[in-house]
Structure 1
Amino acid sequence: MSTLIPTLKNGSKKDTDLGFNSLPSLPSWFDDFLGKSFGNEFMSNFNTGITLPAVNVIDEANDFVVEMAVPGLNKSDFNINIDNHVLSIGVEKETKHNESSENYTRREFGYSSFKRTFSIPESVDVEKISATYKDGIMRVVLPKRDEAKKKPIKTIEIK
């Protein structure tokens, strides 16, 4: 929503300047009207694309795991690449919908995309990286090299 901000004239503000400049602009008034009259339900139809998904990066004993919640997609929508120790997870999805009846025709289309990139540490065995997509969760497993795996705590006996 827009907020009214006093307008400065020639670098100074006079208390008597309450003319045209103190009125809201037409776009500001329109935004306020729509927001108050229709609420978020009306405005939500204008932003139906994919936003940047949140990611969990988990440091397990033998692997690093990247989890991303991205429901409503297919495995074929994803592009996962490794280039110069950078992991890229991206999606490009185009949707088309046609609906016709006796009195109207409606055609909708959309295009959504995102790309997340991660630096891969030298301790990862790049040749063994795997990915799965199940129940809306993309899971990429980055196995650690043997020398990088956490070793169990060694207790030293005192003599």
Structure 2
Amino acid sequence: MTPMMRRNAAWLPSVFNDLFDTDFMPKANATAPAINVKETDKAYTVELAAPGMTKEDFNVHINDEGNLIIKMEKKQEQKEEDKSSRYLRREFSYTKFEQTLILPDDVKKEDIAARVENGVLTVELPKIVEEKAKVSRQIEIG
């Protein structure tokens, strides 16, 4: 009896996948891009995985509240033009993502820079370097 239950347990999810993974109801397993945040003495670095995206697909800005907003949007439509046939199906792709990051107080907001390279958006957030005043004085011995 145990083998039968295992077989049914493995069979049941595939039936649901076949029913719900259609053009009208695609799988809901889409996830947001992975984000890494690194810190050094001089800066924070935000890396966002975005394979296939170009710099034109991104909008990176600071909002009125001083938060960093990263938006990503890409639309694709694959068309094959053939006058002798009609389409029964066309493939469309649409990707949209938005992330708000609250910036630490020590970020120099006017020097933030971003670039896209090898499918990774990198945002450099330089830190404000506070020059410590060197205090030089003679100390009296009492």
TM, length-normalised to structure 2: 0.68
The count of residues paired between Structure 1 and Structure 2 equals 115
Paired with 1:136 and 1:119, the residues of 2 have a C-alpha distance of 24
What corresponds to 1:143 in structure 2? Answer: 126
Q: Deviation at 1:124? A: 0.7
Aligned-partner SS, 1:147: coil
Contact 1:87/1:118 (8 A) holds in 2 = yes
Contact 1:95/1:110 (8 A) holds in 2 = yes
Cα pair distance change 1:99/1:31, threshold 3 Å: farther
What corresponds to 1:88 in structure 2? Answer: 69
RMSD: 3.0
Gaps in structure 2 of 5+ consecutive residues? 1-10, 132-142
Gaps in structure 1 of 5+ consecutive residues? 1-28, 149-159
Instruction: Work out whether 1:133 is the aligned partner of 2:89.
Output: no
1:92 maps to a residue whose letter is E
What corresponds to 1:97 in structure 2? Answer: 78
Q: Deviation at 1:100? A: 4.2
Q: Deviation at 1:32? A: 4.3
Deviations 1:36-81 (Å, cap 9, x if unpaired)?
A: xx7xxxx498349963111111011100000111110110000111
Contact 1:67/1:139 (8 A) holds in 2 = yes
Cα pair distance change 1:99/1:30, threshold 3 Å: farther
Instruction: Work out whether 1:60 is the aligned partner of 2:43.
Output: no
Matches within 5 A, 1:10-49: 32-33=14-15, 35=17, 43=21, 46-47=26-27
1:108 maps to a residue whose letter is E
Cα pair distance change 1:65/1:99, threshold 3 Å: same
Percent identity over paired residues: 34
Q: Deviation at 1:99? A: 1.9
Paired with 2:96 and 2:50, the residues of 1 have a C-alpha distance of 11
Cα pair distance change 1:95/1:30, threshold 3 Å: farther
